[in-house]
Amino acid sequence: MFKRISDVRKENEVGATISLRGWIHRLRKQKEKTFIILRDDRGDIIQAVCPSSLCEELTIESSVEITGRLKKDSRALEGGYELKVDEILVFNIAATDYPIGEYQSDETLLDYRHLSLRTRKMINVGKLRGALLKYSRDWFGIEGWMEITPPLIVKGAVEGGATLFEVKYFDNTAYLSQSSQLYLESMIYSLGPVWTISPSFRAERSRTIRHLAEFSHLEAEIPWIGLSDLILIQENLIYNIISKIKLYNKKEVEFLNKDSLTKLEAISTPFERISYENAIDKLRSQEFIIKDEEDKKRFIEWGDDLNIESERELTKDMTSPIFVTDYPLEIKPFYVKQNPEDESTGLAVDLLAPYGFGEISGGGIREDDLSKLKKRMHQSKLNIEDYTWYLDLRKYGSVPHGGFGLGIERFLRWILNFDDIKDVTLFPRTMSRILP
């Protein structure tokens, strides 16, 4: 029976004869001996030494089962074990033109992502992504939220028509979901606090380092909630995930970016809260300049949306995330509830990550008044017909409620201090990339 490399490390089997299955990650052939680094299906690696007579046909990425005696060797890579091989079973001899080597451009690695997933970097990214998803599930499970799966082929926009992907739906037109929010909203009436991690799609025409055309969207919705409690839920969830990463994924984070661990250690709660108005005042006091629609430069003012540059300016000297609340109603989507204490603002909240990373989550309290919601939908030029079902939620038993959406890739990009969101995505989808 073959073992995994992690089992070998756990069980002290020095001296025993064991078999391991995996792929030839590195290969150094000498006259008598051949040195192999074997990678198993969990991405762990171990050093193995074989008589060269057994290894003549081996190539990088050939799949094999190797059998031999386990030795402790403090000089050996990863864990200090080495296998002295005396038998090799070959599953497949890989072609000699394997395109991934030591040095490749980022573009080549993306072109061959189906193979570059086998690099140490992408193995660690994959493990960290998996851990992050698991810790999210654990948190919602313990807190008693119900996980749901929403439809992804939909009839209407949630986040504006400009980024909708159209699909042919039999003899009709439909769209790929930009956000599961409206469906989550429909579920709180009978399933209580609900959440999901589902793909969201945005036809983003901008080529930026923080936008994908398809991303993993963690969204949650809860009845009878106010803005301050919604903020606490997000803070609690995010801090909990980060604490677990620090506890259980130090190895992956350290491999991917040593600086990140120090930065994660510096995060503390409560995360700062600032109103949009105070954020604008702060930016104006720093003489922050934006370009208007005609490309003219001017100071930022109340009513301007916070874009990547203004978010960078606001967060560049911070070490923990910051919540920005009470945005002007007109720059937020139709579903945002008007602030009863100040009609020009909406009860929306965005979470901005520190060190200039900017928005990682967006949400707030939903407009629960039918006539106000209809008015906002008219102003947003939505086709009300496509939203009759959504309006029914306000017609039959409307309640105060709210929720948020957290971009998993944005979150991971910040945790790892990576520039480009594509680096934390296994198969990135952008305007210029749909393969592999």
Residues that bind ligand 4AD (CB under 6 A): 158-159, 179, 181, 202, 204, 211-212, 215, 217, 219, 359-363, 403-407, 409-410
- Give the contacts of 75 (CB within 8 A, at least 6 positions apart): none
CA pair distance 7, 9, nearest whole angstrom? 5
Nearest approach, Cβ of 411 to ligand 4AD (angstroms)? 7
Nearer of residues 39 and 422 to ligand 4AD, judged by Cβ? 422
CB 304 within 8 A of CB 280: yes
Residue type, 263: K
Nearer of residues 22 and 407 to ligand 4AD, judged by Cβ? 407
Task: Name the CA dihedral angle for 325, 329, 334, 340, rounded to a multiple of 10 degrees.
Answer: 80
CA pair distance 342, 302, nearest whole angstrom? 14
Nearest approach, Cβ of 330 to ligand 4AD (angstroms)? 16
153 phi/psi in degrees, rounded to 5: -100, 120
CA pair distance 130, 245, nearest whole angstrom? 11
Strand-pair category, 63-72 with 17-29: antiparallel
Nearer of residues 17 and 206 to ligand 4AD, judged by Cβ? 206
Nearer of residues 81 and 271 to ligand 4AD, judged by Cβ? 271
Nearest approach, Cβ of 163 to ligand 4AD (angstroms)? 7
Distances from the Cα of 182 to the Cαs of 366, 369, 372, 409, in angstroms?
Answer: 10, 15, 17, 22
Nearest approach, Cβ of 184 to ligand 4AD (angstroms)? 7
Nearest approach, Cβ of 148 to ligand 4AD (angstroms)? 13
Nearest approach, Cβ of 358 to ligand 4AD (angstroms)? 9
Nearer of residues 135 and 201 to ligand 4AD, judged by Cβ? 201
Is residue 164 classed exposed, middle or buried when 0-12, 13-18 and 19+ CB atoms within 10 A define those classes? Answer: buried
Nearer of residues 320 and 361 to ligand 4AD, judged by Cβ? 361
Write out the DSSP string of 332-347. Answer: S-TTBPEETTEEEEE-
CA pair distance 276, 110, nearest whole angstrom? 38
Nearer of residues 79 and 356 to ligand 4AD, judged by Cβ? 356
Nearest approach, Cβ of 158 to ligand 4AD (angstroms)? 5
Nearest approach, Cβ of 181 to ligand 4AD (angstroms)? 4
Nearer of residues 210 and 263 to ligand 4AD, judged by Cβ? 210
CB 136 within 8 A of CB 237: yes
